[in-house]
Amino acid sequence: MNSRERFLAACWSKPLDRPPVWMMRQAGRYLPEYRSIRAKRSFLEMCKTPELAAEVTMQPIRRFGMDAAIIFSDILIVPEAMGISISYEEGGPRLDPVISTRADLERLRVPADGDLQFTCEALRLVRNQLGGTTALLGFAGAPFTLASYMLESGSPRELIATKSLQYSNPDLLKGLLDRLADSVAWFLEKQVAAGADAVQIFDTWAGNLSPSDYREFALPSAARVIARVRKTGVPVILYINGVAGVLEAASTSGATVMGIDWRMDLTAADGVVGDRAGLQGNLDPAMLFAPVSRIRNEVRRVHSALSRRSGHIFNLGHGILPSTPLEGAAAFIDAVRELD
Ligand code: CP3
């Protein structure tokens, strides 16, 4: 089995030799080769220059040999294509203008042919370089998480503005979620056409909702996106940070695989999700700072606890931290590759 076959088998919960492995945010600042390009270019310039995005997508694959590459980009590229200006500052991203009225919503455009070409071109470049043996992932933010960034001006944290709107004007929030769902579904379809083998949808902030609010707002908009992308035939991974409280509802979204953060045992997640979806995760990103022997033991422990399941993709429970030691990342990938 090559890496691409292994990754797709795991997505569809088919039998395989060992679980595939990759890491969320695997192209990024913990890599010296990323930092040396980033020293000369802005982050957005890297996202929008297909050759640079392709190069940093390939960097972790060359160094560690993960089973899947994820295209280098950012979830906030979609709001930008809808007419919002974005900038990345010390305290996090900033979005302008903040959406707060129906008129603001009406001004947002749904991207169409000609938009976001740089990501599709980067996917085509990486697809050629990978030569069909390593899986290639596209991605986008889920409507609820993108709405949170647009309503909070870039720093969701407590989601005060998002939840206030949810209580005072639920129809306006739903209108925004609808427009985002159309935009995200369109973009993911384009990424599949450009060569993505699978896509991941990041609903990073949805774990902050009560289960009933999750069902009313975040779930229907994510499910709409998933239904459209599933028609292309590729598997869809749905990641939610702090997923435990909404996992049961989220596992009815139509996603092929559920991403699980490290605050929940994968065996407990298995009990909730059952055969509705595969599981991806869920090492604590801080575990990569542990001694190599500790990392290896943890990989074996998780693997044996899940031995009944074929649909497991090894990953971290959230993105790799910028200060992660290279030895920790290498130990994690190697430990999974040595499983049988
Ligand atoms: O996984 C990968 O390697 C692909 C690249 C990727 C990035 N962002 C690159 C990035 C992916 C999949 C994302 C997704 C993303 N972006 C999410 C969802 C995943 C998650 O972590 O929950 C979110 C919430 C964002 C928004 C975002 N982008 C924030 C909040 C920030 C600033 C915080 C930070 O980590 O610096 C970014 C910037 C960003 N996105 C960087 C990278 C490599 C750092 C930019 C730099 O080089 O300075």
What is the chain's length?
A: 340
Average pLDDT over residues 27-38: 98
- pLDDT above 80: residue 143: yes
| Partners of 259 in the β-ladder | 239, 280
Task: Please tell me the distance between residue 27's alpha carbon and the centre of ligand 1 in angstroms.
Answer: 10
* Token pair in block for residue 18: 């060992």
Closest atom of ligand 1 to 139 CA is 12
Residues that are catalytic: 25, 29, 38, 74, 149
Q: Is the CB of 315 under 6 A from ligand 1?
A: no
| Predicted pLDDT at 315 | 98
Residue nearest ligand 1's atom 45 by CA: 43
Cα–Cα distance between 312 and 280 in angstroms, integer? 6
Q: What is the dihedral of CA 106, 112, 117, 122, to 10 degrees?
A: 90
Residue nearest ligand 1's atom 12 by CA: 25
Cα–Cα distance between 248 and 201 in angstroms, integer? 17
Q: Is the CB of 29 under 6 A from ligand 1?
A: yes
Q: Is the Cβ–Cβ distance between 240 and 271 less than 8 Å?
A: no
Helices (H), 142-265: 143-151, 160-168, 170-193, 211-213, 219-230, 247-250
- pLDDT above 80: residue 15: yes
Which candidate, 331, 315, 326, places its Cα nearest to that of 21? 315
Q: Is the CB of 146 under 6 A from ligand 1?
A: no
In this structure, what are the phi and psi dihedrals at residue 190, rounded to the nearest 5 degrees? -65, -40
Q: Is the CB of 280 under 6 A from ligand 1?
A: no
Residue 340 binned pLDDT confidence (cut-offs 50, 70, 90): confident
Q: Where are the beta strands (DSSP E) in the chain?
A: 68-70, 85-89, 92-96, 135-141, 198-202, 236-239, 257-259, 278-283, 312-316
* Token pair in block for residue 151: 């309503």
Task: Please tell me the distance between residue 156's alpha carbon and the centre of ligand 1 in angstroms.
Answer: 14
Q: Between the CA of residue 47 and those of 117, 239, 330, what are the distances in Å?
A: 11, 21, 25
Q: Is the CB of 70 under 6 A from ligand 1?
A: yes
Which candidate, 232, 119, 243, places its Cα nearest to that of 185? 232
Task: Please tell me the distance between residue 111's alpha carbon and the centre of ligand 1 in angstroms.
Answer: 21
Closest atom of ligand 1 to 241 CA is 22
Provide, rounded to the nearest whole percent, the portion of the chain with pLDDT above 70: 100
CATH dotted code for 3-337: 3.20.20.210
Average pLDDT over residues 147-164: 93
Residue nearest ligand 1's atom 10 by CA: 74
| Predicted pLDDT at 105 | 96
Closest atom of ligand 1 to 57 CA is 3
Angle at 111 between CA 107 and CA 115, to 5 degrees: 130
236-291 pLDDT, tens digit each:
999 999 999 999 999 999 999 999 999 999 999 999 999 999 999 999 999 999 99
Residue 44 binned pLDDT confidence (cut-offs 50, 70, 90): very high
How do the domains of the chain map onto residue ranges? Answer: 3-337
Q: Is the CB of 159 under 6 A from ligand 1?
A: no
Contacts for 190 with CB less than 8 Å, ≥ 6 apart: 116, 120
Residue nearest ligand 1's atom 22 by CA: 204
- pLDDT above 90: residue 120: yes
Average pLDDT over residues 114-140: 97
- pLDDT above 80: residue 308: no
Q: Is the Cβ–Cβ distance between 164 and 113 less than 8 Å?
A: no
Cα–Cα distance between 31 and 34 in angstroms, integer? 5
Residue nearest ligand 1's atom 25 by CA: 75
Write 250-253 long-range contacts (CB < 8 A, 24+): 250/203, 250/206, 250/214, 250/219, 250/222, 251/276, 251/277, 252/219, 252/223, 252/276, 253/219, 253/222, 253/223, 253/226
| Partners of 314 in the β-ladder | 21, 281
Task: Please tell me the distance between residue 73's alpha carbon and the centre of ligand 1 in angstroms.
Answer: 8
Q: Between the CA of residue 40 and those of 32, 37, 59, what are the distances in Å?
A: 13, 6, 17
Residue 319 binned pLDDT confidence (cut-offs 50, 70, 90): very high
Closest atom of ligand 1 to 26 CA is 3
Which candidate, 7, 56, 15, 57, places its Cα nearest to that of 336? 7
Residue 90 binned pLDDT confidence (cut-offs 50, 70, 90): confident
Task: Please tell me the distance between residue 95's alpha carbon and the centre of ligand 1 in angstroms.
Answer: 15
Q: Is the CB of 72 under 6 A from ligand 1?
A: yes
* Token pair in block for residue 248: 């049961």
Cα–Cα distance between 23 and 64 in angstroms, integer? 11
